[in-house]
Amino acid sequence: MEFPDHFLWGAATSSYQIEGAAQEDGRGECIWTRFSHTPGNTYNGDTGDVACDHYHRYRQDVALMASLGLQAYRFSISWPRVIPQGTGAINPAGLDFYDRLVDELLAHNIQPFVTLYHWDLPQALQDRGGWENADSIAWFTNYAALMAQRLGDRVRHWITHNEPWVVAFVGHYFGRHAPGKCNLAAAYRVAHHVLLSHGEAVPAIRQVAPGVQVGITLDLVDFQPASESADDIAAAHREDGFKNRWFLDAVFKGRYPDDMVTRLGATLDGLDLDTVQRAAVPLDFLGINYYSRNVIAAGPHGPLNTQHVHVDGRPHTAMGWEVYPDGLRNVLVRVTREYAPPALYVTENGAAYDDPPPVNGVVEDPQRQAYLAAHVQACAEAIAQGVPLRGYFAWSLMDNFEWAEGYRMRFGLVYVDFATQERIPKRSALYYRDLIAAHRAAHSSPA
Ligand code: FCB
């Protein structure tokens, strides 16, 4: 497998999923605290109150990353930890935490990639309407500028949003994520404001931190029609419009796809759709999160009139997601051809499995190792086809709070015993360590 010289190997996490310390050092409440503490919303009633206790164990966790040879680490900032009410008073202890984390990473030669919004909106802002309120554009931009001012001298890579589709639709239409709404018009309103906040934040970040690289992370799916029939092909195209093109077209073309706008009709009433051109600011890179493909048939379900087809006989992860590495290559190649981003990173890719307990200090997870190997191979194939892929981040560094699934879904390369907070490498972590070492050896210039 061929990877360019400066290709970065990393792992990713997010604040609410690992930090814990939910009530400490002045952190404000976030929508996930409220949502997870509301009965019925998460598996087993799990919350992120403690999670991986990373807030207290970050030094040990950075040492763990270094022991795996990671060259980059993608994490997110908890907005309510640094601005407890979302706007107004700043919490110095919160800023100090991220300062120390960044310094610790740099001391270990690990490049920080900062995501500004990975879903933990301050509850105080939700109480003011959250992302449905157009003021959220300014709230986010001010927060982004604050962080860039504080960390921009050391953090070179900034991601405004993680997966706007999930924020909008899983949070406001399917209701499975905080804030738990079920209203399609509200979801499109949220998507619009999140996209505009991205467009405003990018120049604001560059203004206070000249020379940094700024991008956004989208969750993209390879949609494939269940048959060659015109109906199934059209259905797959609609799903692609809903999930992929709505955001790609906004960010790269400054417009929403016509077919979707027509289809959605009155659902979009009250939105000034033309303003989406403000979301299309030149980016330094696009982050792509990829987990699976979806096979789509025409069907009776939902506003898209589609049906997701389960492909029997193919491997699936514990989440029920089909293992389909070719889809990662397809997505990377397609985005490069249709949208020409200057650079790409795979900012998340990984799999949940029911891991066995540790034996002799290691967890055997052959399926995750195979998933990782196959998807890294797909990255190499994409690069060979001309994709400007600059790095790969495994999701996730360690087992963590998997949102509505609580702690039962383990995505980590490293196993976490949540009773003791012990970190135990899985076989996949050791495989990844060796892969990174081999890449480095192949590219180190002879002395
Ligand atoms: C992505 C999220 C990430 C994690 C993985 C499994 O959608 O960005 O936080 O939950 O899925």
CA distance 167 to 221: 16
Out of 15, 120, 174, 348, mutate this one to test ligand 1's pocket (max ligand atoms within 8 Å of CB): namely 348
Find where tokens 């001298």 sit. Answer: 153
Which atom of ligand 1 is nearest the CA belonging to 166?
Answer: 7
pLDDT value at position 191?
99
* Radius of gyration for the chain, computed over Cα atoms and rounded to the nearest angstrom: 21
Task: Please tell me the distance between residue 274's alpha carbon and the centre of ligand 1 in angstroms.
Answer: 30
Going by C-beta distance under 8 Å and a sequence separation of 6 or more, which residues neighbour residue 420?
A: none
C-alpha 214 – ligand 1 centre gap (Å): 20
pLDDT tens, residue order, the chain (447 aa): 889 999 999 999 999 999 999 999 999 999 999 999 999 999 999 999 999 999 999 999 999 999 999 999 999 999 999 999 999 999 999 999 999 999 999 999 999 999 999 999 999 999 999 999 999 999 999 999 999 999 999 999 999 999 999 999 999 999 999 999 999 999 999 999 999 999 999 999 999 999 999 999 999 999 999 999 999 999 999 999 999 999 999 999 999 999 999 999 999 999 999 999 999 999 999 999 999 999 999 998 889 999 999 999 999 999 999 999 999 999 999 999 999 999 999 999 999 999 999 999 999 999 999 999 999 999 999 999 999 999 999 999 999 999 999 999 999 999 999 999 999 999 999 999 999 999 999 988 654
Residue 113's Cβ-side half-sphere holds a number of Cα atoms within 13 Å equal to 32
The encoded tokens of residue 286 equal 């696009």
The atom number, within ligand 1, closest to the CA of 319 reads: 6
Does 163 participate in catalysis according to the annotation?
Answer: yes
Q: Which residue bears the tokens 């009139």?
A: 305
DSSP state of 167: I
With beta carbons less than 8 A apart as the criterion, state whether 436 and 69 touch.
Answer: yes
- Judge contact between 200 and 56, C-beta under 8 A: no
Q: Which residues contact 272 (CB under 8 A, 6 or more apart)?
A: none
Residue 1 has what pLDDT? 80
CB contact burial 376-413 (16+ within 10 A = b; e otherwise): bebbbbbbeeebbbbbbbbbbbbbbbbbbbbbebbbbb
Is 29 designated active site? Answer: no
Given a contact cutoff of 8 angstroms between Cβ atoms, the answer to whether 334 and 384 are in contact is: no
> At how many degrees (to 10) do helices 325-339 and 246-253 cross?
30
Contacts of 258 (CB under 8 A, 6+ apart): none
pLDDT score at 301: 85
Q: Which two tokens mark 92?
A: 């110095």
Q: Amino acid identity of 388?
A: P
How are strands ordered across the β-sheet holding 293-301?
222-225, 293-301, 306-309
**Tokens linked to 408:** 């039962």
Sort residue 3 into left (φ over 0), alpha (ψ -120 to 50) or beta.
Answer: beta
Dist. CA 284–CA 373, nearest whole Å: 28
Q: How far is CA 41 from CA 123, 132, 156, 319, 324, in A?
A: 16, 21, 37, 17, 29
Question: Amino acid identity of 100?
Answer: R
Query: Coil, strand, or helix at residue 225?
Result: strand
Tell which one of 403, 408, 409, 413 to mutate to probe ligand 1, the residue whose CB is within 8 A of the most ligand atoms: 403
First to last CA, the chain: 24
Give residue 331's pLDDT. 99
Ligand 1 pocket residues where CB is under 6 Å? 14, 17, 162-163, 166, 219, 289, 348, 395, 402-403, 411
| 35/38 Cα distance (integer angstroms) | 5
The domains found in the chain, sorted by start residue, are 8-214+242-293+322-443 (3.20.20.80)
**Structure-token match 């207290």, residue found:** 56
DSSP state of 355: P
Ligand 1 binding pocket mutation candidate from 16, 42, 289, 408 (most atoms within 8 A of CB): 289
Q: Give the CA diameter of the chain.
A: 66
Predicted confidence at residue 158, as pLDDT, reads 99
**What confidence score (pLDDT) does residue 445 get?**
64
Q: Give me ligand 1 centre to Cα 444, in Å.
A: 33
Question: 10 Å Cβ neighbour count for 303?
Answer: 12
Written as one string, the DSSP assignment of 311-356 is -TTS-B-TTS-B--HHHHHHHHHHHHHHH--S-EEEEE------PP
The rounded distance, in Å, linking the Cα atoms of 416 and 64 is 12
Among 132, 239, 348, 405, the one annotated catalytic: 348
**What is the Å distance from ligand 1's center to 39 Cα?**
22
